[in-house]
């Protein structure tokens, strides 16, 4: 219902078609605000992803979640002038920062779009298939920390939470227009919040008096609704849930993984890092379905299910960050990496 407001692919900002003036203005703005330096996102499971991608120096690689270009920089270092890196992000600020960070590399194309459109993105760039694709899902630390983006329960700001500022749905719309039942479901499913019903009820009571416009108003309602002290800030889970809804992070994921696998060359690899059990389930299910294991009853002489294998998951269990990484980067603690290899 909500997420149809992405640019059509022919309007998106591939390197050759992007409105340069817009990017230059945004970059200047970010520099004035010191944001390029502040884009402090530590790449998660970096070595494991680079090893997992098994980089061919002349290959074509897609980073579908460019962010601060932490992973991309390591990919760019490993490809030569015959290779190509395509960096996709739905956040224009991330694209600007990544352009600056990867300015020393000439063989990088930047695309402002949703990676769910990976097939159209590659088609528009005249690329048939990629040697490797990386998805490091969710938000960046920059998006969480940047006050004006309204993602954080720690900072007073207008409720926003859009990764792509050109989309219409924002956190204010979710909080002020969704029904009590919808809010309770989202907060429970996406936030795994035990007090989801109470929070949804109090949001609906409060908005009868006044529109809920800021992060602090929402935090206050959540704090009133939760009587038990649990782990972490009481607003953490609800904010995560609303962010996932605003950015439609779960529903398209299964198809996105299947499309990404379709876009791989024979022997190509897809590496996906998830931070939420619902994300991991969608990724795992899509990868299992692409393995196309035969589901015919045992003893049948000829396969009748007709399933076709596109390759196999080469991580039987997801790769987790080691203790050192978990201690040095708390954001990495819930990370899981799964890798799929296309059939050769």
Binding site for ligand SAM (CB under 6 A): 41, 43, 65, 67-71, 88-91, 94, 114-116, 136, 138-140, 163
CB of residue 65 to ligand SAM, shortest distance in Å: 3
Structure tokens at 233: 């800030």
CB 110 to ligand SAM: min, Å: 12
By beta-carbon proximity to ligand SAM, the closer residue of 138 and 311 is 138
Helix (H) or strand (E) holding 87: strand 84-89
Closer CB to ligand SAM, 100 or 181, in the complex: 100
Q: Report in angstroms how near the CB of residue 107 gets to ligand SAM at its nearest.
A: 19
Q: 174-180 contacts: CB < 8 A, separation 24 or more?
A: 174/242, 174/245, 174/246, 175/203, 175/207, 175/212, 175/218, 175/242, 176/207, 176/211, 176/212, 180/204
d(CA 250, CA 277): 10
Sign of CA dihedral 203, 208, 214, 220: negative
Closest approach of ligand SAM to the CB of residue 15, in Å: 16
Q: Which is nearer to ligand SAM, 105 or 267 (CB)?
A: 105
Sign of the torsion angle spanned by Cα atoms 6, 9, 10, 14: positive
What is the signed CA dihedral for 227, 229, 235, 236, rounded to 10 degrees? -150
State which residue, 3 or 285, has the beta carbon closest to ligand SAM: 3
Burial 213-243 (b: 16+ CB within 10 A, else e): bebebbbebbeebbeeeeeeebbbbbbbbbb
Beta pairing, strands 311-313 & 264-274: unpaired
| Closer Cβ to ligand SAM, 71 or 99, answer by number | 71
Q: Are the C-beta atoms of 253 and 285 separated by less than 8 Å?
A: no
Nearer to ligand SAM, 84 or 163 (CB): 163
Q: How far is the CB of 311 from ligand SAM (least distance, A)?
A: 23
Closest distance to ligand SAM from the beta carbon of 34 (Å): 18
Q: Closer to ligand SAM at the Cβ: 66 or 310?
A: 66
Chain centroid to CA 74: 19
């Amino acid at each position: 219902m909500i997420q149809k407001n992405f640019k059509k692919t022919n309007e998106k900002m591939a390197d050759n078609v992007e409105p340069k003036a817009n990017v230059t203005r945004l970059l200047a703005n970010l520099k004035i605000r010191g944001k390029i330096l502040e884009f402090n996102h530590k790449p998660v499971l970096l070595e494991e992803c680079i090893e997992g991608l098994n980089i061919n120096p002349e290959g074509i690689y897609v980073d579908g979640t460019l962010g601060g270009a932490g992973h991309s920089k390591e990919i760019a270092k490993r490809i030569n002038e015959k290779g190509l890196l395509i960096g996709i992000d739905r956040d224009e600020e991330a694209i600007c920062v990544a352009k600056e960070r990867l300015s020393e590399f000439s063989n990088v194309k930047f695309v402002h779009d949703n990676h769910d459109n990976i097939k159209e993105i590659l088609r528009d760039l005249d690329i048939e298939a990629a040697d490797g694709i990386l998805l490091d899902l969710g938000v960046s630390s920059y998006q969480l920390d940047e006050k004006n983006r309204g993602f954080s329960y720690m900072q007073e700001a207008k409720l926003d939470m859009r990764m792509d500022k050109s989309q219409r749905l924002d956190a204010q719309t979710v909080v002020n227009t969704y029904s009590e039942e919808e809010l309770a479901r989202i907060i429970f499913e996406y936030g795994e919040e035990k007090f989801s019903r109470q929070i949804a009820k109090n949001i609906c009571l409060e908005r009868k008096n006044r529109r809920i416009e800021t992060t602090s108003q929402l935090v206050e309602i959540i704090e009133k609704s939760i009587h038990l002290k649990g782990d972490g800030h009481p607003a953490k889970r609800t904010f995560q849930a609303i962010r996932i809804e605003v950015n439609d992070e779960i529903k398209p994921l299964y198809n996105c993984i299947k499309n990404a696998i379709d876009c791989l060359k024979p022997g190509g690899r897809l590496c996906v890092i998830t931070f939420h059990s619902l994300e991991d389930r969608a990724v795992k299910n899509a990868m299992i379905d692409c393995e196309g294991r035969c589901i015919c009853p045992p003893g049948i002489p000829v396969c009748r299910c007709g399933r076709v294998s596109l390759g196999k998951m080469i991580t039987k269990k997801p790769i987790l960050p080691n203790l050192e990484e978990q201690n040095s980067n708390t954001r990495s603690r819930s990370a899981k990496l799964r890798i799929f290899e296309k059939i050769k």
